[in-house]
Structure 1
Amino acid sequence: MVSAFAITRFASGLISGTLVDKFGERAVFSSGVFMVALFTFLAGLSQSYEQLLFFRAAGGLGSSMFSVAAGSVILRSVDDANRGRAQSVYQGSFLLGGIAGPAIGGLLSVISLRAPFFVYSGLLLCSGMVAFFFLKGDKIGKEDKNADISEHTTVREALAMKPYRIALVLSFIGAWVFFGLRASILPIFVTEELNSTTAVVGYGLALSAVVQGVILLKAGRYSDEKGRRAASIIGAQVVLLGVLLLTFSVNFWMFLLSMAVLGFGGAFISITPASIVGDVIKGKGGKVIAIFQMAGDAGMMVGPIIIGAVSDLFSYRAAFGMSAAIFVIALVLVYQIPETRNVEGPQVKNLRPLDEDL
């Protein structure tokens, strides 16, 4: 059920990017949210597993559409001097939703297991309406037929840039570690290996989220002032330390410490890859942003499968250790990132000369 949604998101990434380039962020964002609202509502009405699976998978297309459109808005609406902070606020909104959503959904499930679907669908409708009526701006809308195509970064041009390629790998590995570990074996490791309770799992996840939320704005400001490379190095080093602490945890106190460390490092490593992409693209880059999103989706799909397989064949600690080894690749790459932030002031590469408008 979970994988079907992620697979659809991944498979439709380039389609969503093409739609953003052609119709603009506002139309694609609102349409995508409306699609997820519709299929979520239908999922709540499902009478069989097959129906639920189909409607959940179909919602992945809408999720891909509004995710790519939202990413495009954030990356294109701010300059280099503020992009890190914009990403921190954007990531913070997801973090807040990730904390509040399960709590509210859990309360609604007491009424009915279908109730969370219907409430979520209604909230999505509100989100789509807000996007449709208020998401406006000079850079947000339909494709400008008079715009110079050479001012748009193509997929080939993006892949030729070393910072973009590194950002893709960081997104993949980051999703592998943060989603793969947390969503697959972490709860079982705590209850079976550390002999703790599910409450301790919740405490650890909540602690990680709180630390990450507290540090996010500071991490964004550091990225804007010191550069993407410096922020990436801090994030990669701290996350690797957190994974190693988790690997060698022998009690719930070490587990909680590792989760706090992961939250700190995650605040830095979660914003820098997207900031790098925003620094290097020009004009509308829906497909470029879509491929970046697909790299993260691929990590979400592959991570839990491989981590789960290693834990079944060997042990939980072996799976954690393998993830730490994978993250060493990210640590090596961050030292090779050319600085992409415009240190001389706000970015102006997306603005047309005034005489063109005249």
Structure 2
Amino acid sequence: MPQPTPPTGNQTSGNQTSAEETSTGEAPKTERARSVVSRGPLRGLPIEVAVLSVVAFFVAAGFGIVAPAIPVFARSFGVSRTAAAAVVSAFAFMRLVSALGCGRLVNRIGERLVLGVGIAIVAVSSALAGLAVNYPQLLTLRAVGGVGSAMFTVSASSLLLGITTSEQRGRAMGAFSGGFLLGGVAGPGIGGLVTGWSLRAPFFLYAATLAAAGAVGLARLPRRVRHGDAKDKPRPVLTLGQAFRMPAFRAAAGANLADSWAALGVRAAIVPLLVVEVLHRSPIWTGVALTVFTLGNLVTLTVGSRIADRRGRRPVLLIGCLGSAAGTALLIFPASLVLLLVSMAVFGAGSGLLDVAPGAMLGDVAGGRGGTVVAGYQMAGDVGSLVGPLAAGALADSAGFGPAFAVTAAVLVAAAVLALRAPETLVRTPA
């Protein structure tokens, strides 16, 4: 990988002309060649997009490795199932409550440093969690790790959106999300094997993957993103209040909340129960269903990222919300194995589009103008992650699986309404 040069918010690729070239009349060809990917699916994108995608892969793979061990390790201290689940919730809760503070930190000291420190916090807390001798230690260390996770996510997203132009953000978000997705697929299998050998080993392996990811990030990423699209006309930092008054931001945040609600509230929390309790099938079929979801996600992730950069964010956002809603709504009908697999394919395809369009729209609104706006967007997703499983589970207990799926579909339709009311944010460069 060639050595990158720190790009700015106005960096372009292909035949576009940067502000620096216009003022000097001479294009810095050597620097341009060194600053973008020259071949492959990321061709023309800043090198930093590739770096962040690799970092995302290792972070997601590490989390997938440790995830199967967390509740089992917690139970080894003699606590209840609820207490074991609280270890997972503590991580998510601290991500949520610390996100805005992380955004302000990004504004003050820059994305790269916050990213590196955040990964370091998760790595150290994970290694110490592997050494925990009682339940309170494990709970506290996982909560601390949630703060580090928020620092990483906010800073990485802010950096990604700040170094790319409007016409690049769909592909950039697709690459970044793809890194997380592939890491999430690779990690659990390894984690299951390692957990079978030792309940503590996954925490140390997670810390090692995070250390590698943090080292790559600190070495290959710029210290911070220059705010604005022109060197001589910097734009002020965008506040969260200003962002929420923009229909495009509300649409992006709403879609992120709805997608997280559906992915965790239905895919992760309810589908496994449906397979065992209603279809009376082996848990193996849960794995098959989730694999079908992932395949649908991968297909539309690639296609959707290109469409979002060529046709716009709004249609991709709308189709993603309605597609996910349709996939979820199929499960309202009398359950069958065939219907489940079809539902997961449609649901996964819609969710893949929602891994691209909302983030690209957020980048168009915020660019490199503020970590707090990115933090607000992340918080919307975290709210969906926390509320979705609880709401779907409560509805499944009190009213049955059908209402749980129906409410989740309604949340996705509400996000589609916000998308309909939002303007198109893609800015095309004149030919």
TM-score in terms of structure 2 length? 0.76
Q: 1:287 maps to what in 2?
A: 372
- Aligned mate of 2:124, from 38, 51, 54: 38
Q: Residue 29 in 1 paired to residue 119 in 2?
A: no
In 1, the alpha carbon distance for the partners of 2:340 and 2:174 equals 26
In 2, the alpha carbon distance for the partners of 1:259 and 1:155 equals 35
In 1, the alpha carbon distance for the partners of 2:416 and 2:365 equals 21
Q: Is the deviation greater in 47-56 or in 275-284? A: 275-284
Query: How far 1:3 sits from its partner (Å)?
Result: 1.0
Q: How big is each residue's C-alpha offset from its partner over 1:269-322, in whole Å with a ceiling of 9 and x where there is no partner?
A: 221111111001154310110011011001100111111111111111221112
In 2, the alpha carbon distance for the partners of 1:253 and 1:15 equals 46
Q: 1:66 maps to what in 2?
A: 152
In 1, the alpha carbon distance for the partners of 2:224 and 2:132 equals 42
For residue 195 of structure 1, what is the amino acid of its counterpart? H
Q: Is the 8 A contact 1:69 1:286 kept in 2?
A: yes
Q: Is the 8 A contact 1:276 1:340 kept in 2?
A: yes
Q: 2:325 maps to what in 1?
A: 240
In 2, the alpha carbon distance for the partners of 1:135 and 1:344 equals 26
In 2, the alpha carbon distance for the partners of 1:106 and 1:282 equals 39
Q: How big is each residue's C-alpha offset from its partner over 1:80-124, in whole Å with a ceiling of 9 and x where there is no partner?
A: 111101101111111001111101101111210111111011110
Q: How big is each residue's C-alpha offset from its partner over 1:249-273, in whole Å with a ceiling of 9 and x where there is no partner?
A: 5211111111111111111122111
Q: 1:164 maps to what in 2?
A: 249
Q: Residue 209 in 1 paired to residue 294 in 2?
A: yes
Which structure 2 residue ranges, 5 or more long, are not aligned? 1-86
Q: Residue 121 in 1 paired to residue 213 in 2?
A: no
In 2, the alpha carbon distance for the partners of 1:123 and 1:59 equals 14
Task: Report how many residues are paired.
Answer: 342
In 2, the alpha carbon distance for the partners of 1:134 and 1:249 equals 52
Q: 1:14 maps to what in 2?
A: 100
For residue 243 of structure 2, what is the amino acid of its counterpart? A
For residue 397 of structure 2, what is the amino acid of its counterpart? D
Q: 1:138 to 1:71 in 2, by over 3 A?
A: closer
Q: 1:356 maps to what in 2?
A: none
Q: How big is each residue's C-alpha offset from its partner over 1:157-182, in whole Å with a ceiling of 9 and x where there is no partner?
A: 21221111221111111111111112
SS at match of 2:392: helix
SS at match of 2:424: coil
Q: Is the 8 A contact 2:111 2:223 kept in 1?
A: no
Which structure 1 residue ranges, 5 or more long, are not aligned? 347-358
Q: 1:321 maps to what in 2?
A: 406
Q: 1:353 maps to what in 2?
A: none
SS at match of 1:173: helix
In 2, the alpha carbon distance for the partners of 1:69 and 1:249 equals 44
Q: Is the deviation greater in 160-169 or in 148-157? A: 148-157
- Aligned mate of 2:276, from 185, 191, 196: 191
Q: Is the 8 A contact 2:255 2:416 kept in 1?
A: no
In 1, the alpha carbon distance for the partners of 2:430 and 2:151 equals 32
For residue 278 of structure 1, what is the amino acid of its counterpart? G
Q: How big is each residue's C-alpha offset from its partner over 1:37-95, in whole Å with a ceiling of 9 and x where there is no partner?
A: 00001111111222111111110000000100000111111111111011011111110
Q: Residue 103 in 1 paired to residue 199 in 2?
A: no
SS at match of 1:232: helix
**Cα root mean square deviation, aligned:** 1.8
Query: How far 1:2 sits from its partner (Å)?
Result: 1.4
Query: How far 1:147 sits from its partner (Å)?
Result: 9.1
**Sequence identity of aligned pairs in percent?**
39
